[in-house]
Chain A
Amino acid sequence: MYALQDVSKRFGTTQALHALNLTLPTGRTTVLLGPSGCGKSTLVRLLNGLLHPDTGQVLYGGKPLPTDAKALLSVRHRVGYALQGGGLFPHLTGEENVTLMAQHLRWSPAKTRERRDVLVELTRFPAEALARYPAQLSGGQRQRVALMRALMLDPEVLLLDEPLGALDPLVRHELQADLRAIFARLRKTVVLVTHDLAEAGFLGDDIVLMREGRVVQQGSLVDLETRPADPFVTRFIQAQRLAPGSGASA
């Protein structure tokens, strides 16, 4: 679905991403894994044009991502995006957050309602809470609303940046299970950012381990464990195994 060719990105004096090449397969879940500051969030923002690469190009479906604002809008309609904390619009109810784009695109009320009901069922969101504002929702519920909003237009791709980052362990565990079921049902191309190895192994078909703006290794969790491309891979895995549940947010 995505192919990155010699893509690099710099913020001021910080080289966030060194020139890298990467292919993200269609219909599979790829997890961008690594410690904070490794460039994984920068990478995911290159995929929907929130950021533009300094060098190289991002191919989406074989074609370069447009730079023209209008063409980019239609790409974004096909690429769902949810980030840590949900990024919900606080002045809109849960339902209004979810159906915002459908309303803007003038979907019929029936079509909107139908799609909403599908998503409520898919994300196991309590329907009666749809009328609540983000301030009245729990952290987990907010994340489910964000997921529904990202999926509303039935996109080809789902980009999730630390979707479970701010949740307490129990809620997080429950949502992980739900997310896995959702990914399995939808069979969409998913790119998920996390710093948690267990989460990466649980949710991802493929893991891209990153460090300081470079890709260290791409493969399954088993690949990473048994055939580490670099001593860092082993260190990263062991650090997370030694301190279970605490994450590697060093």
Chain B
Amino acid sequence: MSTWRTCAPTGLAVLLLLSLALTACERASTTQGEPSVRVGSKKFTESVILGEMVSQLARSTGASVRHRRELGGTAVLWEALRRGELDVYPEYTGTLRQELLSGRKLPDDAALRVALAEEGLRMSAPLGFNNTYALGMKEAEAERLGIRSISDLREHPALRFGFSNEFMERGDGWPALRDSYRLPQREVSGLDHDLAYRGMEAGSVQVTDLYSTDAEIAAYGLRVLVDDLHHFPAYDAVLLYRADLESRAPEALATILRLSGTLSEEKMVKLNARARLERVPEAQVASDFLSQALGVSTVVRGDSLASRVWLRTREHLFLVGVSLLGALALAVPLGVLASRSPRLGQAVLGLAGVIQTIPSLALLVVMIPLLGIGSRPAIAALFLYSLLPIVRNTASGLTGIPLEVRESADALGLPPRARLWRIDLPMASPSILAGIQTAAVINVGTATLGALVGAGGYGQPILTGIRLDDTRLILEGAVPAAVLALLVSGVFEALGRVLVPKGLRLRAESESR
């Protein structure tokens, strides 16, 4: 009994201090004084490169910059910008018009600027390239047939088309394109995008759909056909930023806006290819471009593997530690309540079970309007996921106490509170600890998704690795995550030896014999 009563609070206190220390670490990394600029980017290479350019330009003016890379989806960035958790991120006019503000039916960029201003947002002049749907074919073949624009395809009805499945089905995809250009081709197949490129190499496909700044355009030597009837909507790259940046960090903003008009499609294709195909880090790609095009020399900080892993370990532990402590504070009392009233127990367990079935990604996205981006939504989601195992194990540990023991405690005249602390919780401790262990191990795994909302952690290299198809990077996140899961599990095993009363361990031993 004395072991449990002194060790349990001590253990919790240690965990709490650890989390606080980690919070302090995170806080300390943002210095005061100079203006701060928070940059975001989407989880594809082009956006990350642009985000790096913006970050490096802002940093060159002395601003303190935080770049949240590879955030999961347009809606995440848009919400974060509106809520003031990001100051600037690269966006496309088409996305703004067709997706984010689709309800407004904005006819042109001028109307778009007005609509953005109502949200307290500004849009830079176009950066220079238009990343939209396009058709492409092998440069040599296009040259041989004299094809420069999509209209030219009408003269060559025998050409074999291979389009991505998405393009076959989109409203502005193949059916609409065929109608507006009156294209006569009959041999049109839908297939996976990667297969389409391979088909072009093999000659089985002669024309395919692509994004006009795809790295593959350079890699496969493709010619992008001019959309001479302007069928595809414009997806001009712009920088979207908060209006208050003009007063908060005027110098940094002015420097960032120098990017306008500097990036042609051809240039962007080359930059994408360097990052995606040659695997040059985005920061380096951005830095090289800035010194060539703008004469701005920036320092690219290459962190060592160890310091990268250490940083992510801290971020990851922070997510797991805080969420687990929060869950502990709520779930154990809930488990106690659940064990006392079967009806309430069913309600609590049912609710926790429903939470458990919400896909992690959905839960994270739901959290963003409430808690913004960064570690908060991730911690909230992990907190919710931790509840079920702890509540369930607390309740089952308590209801599993043998009848004669419960009756003895009652008959002694021990008041409920004393009974909870002296008898019930110590006797349920193996089960409660097992529940916390389960929650912790699940948390270590689930926390890797936190990177999608800018919470960092081991998910960051995994996300980058998936984007670049780089197994080494995926392992840089996955291996530490697995090691941490094992470590956490081991720590709880050890904790069990300290916290579970000796008498219960003796009984378990004699029963297993």
Interface residues of A (CB under 8 A from B): 48, 50, 70, 72-77, 79, 81, 83-93, 96, 100-101, 104, 133-136, 146, 149, 159
Contacts and interface: CB of A to CB of B under 8 A. Distances in A.
B81 to A, nearest CB: 55
Contacts of B408: 81, 83, 87-89, 146, 149
Q: Tell which of B4, B422, B426, B503 has the most Cβ of chain A within 10 Å.
A: B503
Contacts of A159: 411
| A-B residue pairs, 7 tightest by C-beta | A76-B413, A87-B408, A91-B501, A133-B503, A81-B411, A87-B404, A135-B506
A101 B414 CA distance: 7
B171 interface: no
Contacts of B413: 72-77, 101
Scoring A91, A149, A159 by chain B CB atoms within 10 A of each residue's CB, the highest score goes to A91
Given A50-B410, A87-B407, A101-B413, 19 more contacts: A50-B407, A70-B415, A75-B413, A76-B411, A81-B408, A83-B411, A89-B405, A89-B408, A90-B405, A90-B504, A91-B427, A91-B501, A92-B501, A100-B414, A100-B422, A104-B422, A135-B506, A149-B408, A159-B411
A92 B412 contact: no
B341 interface: no
B404 A83 contact: yes
B409 A89 contact: yes
Interface residues of B, number: 25
Most buried by B among A72, A81, A88, A135: A135
B423 interface: yes
B1 interface: yes
B499 to A, nearest CB: 11
B467 to A, nearest CB: 52
Contact of A89 (B411, B418, B423, B510): B423
B405 A83 contact: no
B27 interface: no
Q: Among B1, B4, B411, B507, which residue has the most Cβ atoms of chain A within 10 A?
A: B411
A92 B422 CA distance: 9
10 contacts: A50-B411, A73-B413, A79-B411, A91-B4, A91-B502, A92-B501, A100-B412, A101-B413, A135-B507, A136-B506
Given A83-B407, A84-B404, A133-B502, A90 B507 contact: yes
A159 B405 CA distance: 16
Contacts of B412: 76, 81, 100-101, 149
Interface in B479-513: 501-504, 506-507, 510
Contacts of B504: 90-91
Nearest to B427: A91
A80 B22 CA distance: 52
A134 B426 CA distance: 15
Contacts of B414: 73, 100-101, 104
Q: Is the interface of B mostly helix, strand, loop or mixed?
A: helix
A12 B124 CA distance: 77
A146 B408 CA distance: 9
Contacts of A85: 404
A89 B506 CA distance: 13
A135 B509 CA distance: 10
Nearest to A48: B411
Given A84-B404, A149-B412, A90 B510 contact: no
Nearest to A76: B413
Nearest to B4: A91
Contacts of B502: 91, 133
A93 B503 contact: yes
Contacts of B409: 89
A149 to B, nearest CB: 7
B315 to A, nearest CB: 38
Contacts of A133: 502-503, 506-507
Contacts of A84: 404
Nearest to B502: A133
A70 to B, nearest CB: 8
B503 A90 contact: yes
A106 to B, nearest CB: 11
Given A84-B404, A133-B502, A89 B410 contact: no
Contact of B503 (A50, A92, A149): A92
A92 B411 contact: no
Given A90-B427, A91-B1, A135 B503 contact: yes
Interface string B391-411: 000000000000011011111
Contacts of B405: 87-90
Contacts of A79: 411
Contacts of A72: 413
A137 B355 CA distance: 46
Contact of B427 (A89, A100, A135): A89
A220 B307 CA distance: 86
Contacts of A101: 412-414
A92 to B, nearest CB: 6
Nearest to A78: B413
Contact of B415 (A73, A81, A88, A91): A73
A17 to B, nearest CB: 18
Nearest to B511: A135
A65 to B, nearest CB: 13
Nearest to B403: A87
B12 to A, nearest CB: 19
A89 B426 CA distance: 10
Interface string B115-132: 000000000000000000
A87 B422 CA distance: 15
Interface string B435-473: 000000000000000000000000000000000000000
